[in-house]
Amino acid sequence: NTLVLPFVLLFFPLVASTTTQESFIQCVKTRFSDYTKTFEIILQLLLLSAPLPLLIVTPFHESEIQAAILCTKKHGLQIRVRSGGHDYEGLSYRCKTPFILVDLVNLRSVDINLEEEVAWVQSGATLGELYYSIAMESKVHGFAAGICPSVGIGGHLSGGGFGTMLRKHGLAADNVIDAYLIDVSGRILNRELMGEDLFWAIRGGGGASFGIILSWKIKLVRVPPTVTVFTVSRSLEQGAIELVHRWQYIAHELSEDLFIRVIIQDVDDPNNGAARTVQAAFNSLFLGKLDCLMPLMNQSFPELGLKVDNCTEMTWIESVLYFAGYKKDDPLEVLLDRNTLYKSYFKAKSDFAQEPIPEVGLRGIWERFLEEEIVFMIMDPYGGKMNEIPESELPFPHRRGNLYNVQYLVKWVQNGVKASKKHLHWMRMLYNYMTPYVSASPRAAYLNYRDLDLGINGKGEESYSGASVWGVKYFKDNFKRLAIVKGRVDPENFLRSEQSIPPYPALK
């Protein structure tokens, strides 16, 4: 019996899904005369049932996405869209019910118009491909977005997106001026056709609730020919806690050209190879030369003791490599590698700090970090441009009043439920510990650091009030407007997932 049962369970979905696959392919074929040339479908062998997709569609042309949406609907299946595949909870490529995966890997062109200082970038491109393309055209232009080059444009821009230039230029989404999207009816809409409400929603509200975004028109930003970077690490004995404490009072008020983030992490103890210790790294980009940076630092953060030797002048694109963990002399082509540098299991959570954490609170973080193996707490300072943009301007509401964003990360290499449980437990314990020190009512979170612990939609019928539990954490008062837009553009809630925006009830 024990042998037969799993076999039956395995076999049944195989038969059922093969029929669905064939019928789906037939549906798609009828929509294309040149099907074999332009439509690439990779059949997945369903050796395991859920959560593998029935099909992965890798379109070369927008009409193929239209067909995928319409045929998915017709077959009562779900659809998932993946650009860079970096979703923290895998919502771009996992689904509990039978689904079709649209992978935009083949739609990744970048067209730069330097005269107008804009670019059109397709969703399947990565940040690295975008940064590289800009650098090939200009040494004095860049784009304000995230740090990891393998992150995809589609998820990043539709969830907000920030990196080393957010204090000067805001979010990636703040710099989007047009977009092409395919809606649930298969229509291709640009900003004018989709209307300002939908255009607002896809810049921070998560694209997957509203359609499949094909491409984005972005504003390039000017960068100086020379920028300066530094990373200064301090241990407990070197006053790390006092320095982080002080940093909280000044980082958000510094010149907009100066971004200093803090990464608290556990490292090997240099005094005892067998032991671990916790240090704080002050990791910075200054949009200017060293001779301007030093007086600024001496005046505003002398406690850090920054020295000329700690700093390196470089071009902006070299700073992109620096922050991504590459060496200054690595070829720029490393930015074209779509594989992420970070390969391990991980769990992340986010917070926003609105008051400085007292030293005693920071000490507690240090103590807890020593209980785990690979842990990080990344603190990204806000202020500057982020203070100038009203909370309702885009779905991303975390603007004035926030000193910095916090991301907690725990990583592990060992597979298995037992190992995962242990690390997840530790992460949730740390998150609980942080409660008195971070934003409350709501305890805010950043959509692009997706966290299903915050709440998920119910089975089948998603309710607006149920989803508000997690929705207001990501979007505050903007959640209601997102749900109203959803009710207008996808009243049947075809595009849904564990954390998709539900249609607002009154308009359903």
- 171 close to 385: Cβ distance less than 8 angstroms: no
- 351 close to 443: Cβ distance less than 8 angstroms: yes
Cβ at position 23, least distance to ligand FDA in Å: 24
Cβ at position 206, least distance to ligand FDA in Å: 6
Cβ at position 411, least distance to ligand FDA in Å: 11
Which is closer to ligand FDA, CB of 80 or CB of 347?
80
| Chain-centroid distance, C-alpha 195 | 25
- Cα gap 300→243, rounded to integer Å: 13
Q: Can you give the binding site for ligand FDA, defined by CB under 6 A?
A: 80-88, 91-92, 104, 123, 146-148, 151-152, 154-156, 158-159, 161-163, 206-208, 212-213, 340, 342, 448
Task: Give which of 340, 353, 345 is closest to 427, Cα–Cα.
Answer: 345
Which is closer to ligand FDA, CB of 151 or CB of 227?
151
Cβ at position 232, least distance to ligand FDA in Å: 20
Cβ at position 123, least distance to ligand FDA in Å: 3
Provide the sign of the torsion angle of the four alpha carbons 284, 290, 296, 301, taken in this order: positive
Which is closer to ligand FDA, CB of 245 or CB of 503?
503
Cβ at position 176, least distance to ligand FDA in Å: 13
Cβ at position 88, least distance to ligand FDA in Å: 6
Which is closer to ligand FDA, CB of 206 or CB of 241?
206
Cβ at position 287, least distance to ligand FDA in Å: 17
- 121 close to 214: Cβ distance less than 8 angstroms: no
Which residues neighbour 422 within 8 Å (Cβ) at sequence distance 6 or greater? Answer: none
Cβ at position 2, least distance to ligand FDA in Å: 37
- Cα gap 360→450, rounded to integer Å: 29
Which is closer to ligand FDA, CB of 206 or CB of 381?
206
For the sheet with 188-189, list strands across it. 110-113, 118-122, 212-219, 176-182, 188-189
Which is closer to ligand FDA, CB of 209 or CB of 277?
209
Which residues neighbour 486 within 8 Å (Cβ) at sequence distance 6 or greater? Answer: 201, 209, 210, 493, 501, 502, 503, 504
Which is closer to ligand FDA, CB of 17 or CB of 500?
500
Cβ at position 121, least distance to ligand FDA in Å: 11
- Cα gap 421→33, rounded to integer Å: 51
Which is closer to ligand FDA, CB of 10 or CB of 193?
193
Which is closer to ligand FDA, CB of 212 or CB of 241?
212
Residue 50: both structure tokens together: 């859920």
The dihedral formed by the CA atoms of 447, 179, 385 and 380, expressed in degrees to the nearest 10: 30
- 230 close to 328: Cβ distance less than 8 angstroms: no
Which is closer to ligand FDA, CB of 213 or CB of 278?
213
Cβ at position 77, least distance to ligand FDA in Å: 15
Residue 59: both structure tokens together: 């379109």
Which is closer to ligand FDA, CB of 167 or CB of 245?
167
What are the angstrom distances between the C-alpha of 498 and each of 94, 208, 275, 456?
Answer: 10, 11, 41, 5
Three-state SS across 83-135?
A: CCCCCCCCCCCCCCCCEEEEEHHHCCCEEEECCCCEEEEECCCEHHHHHHHHH
- The CA-to-CA distance between both ends of the chain, in Å, stands at 48
The residue type of 10 is: L
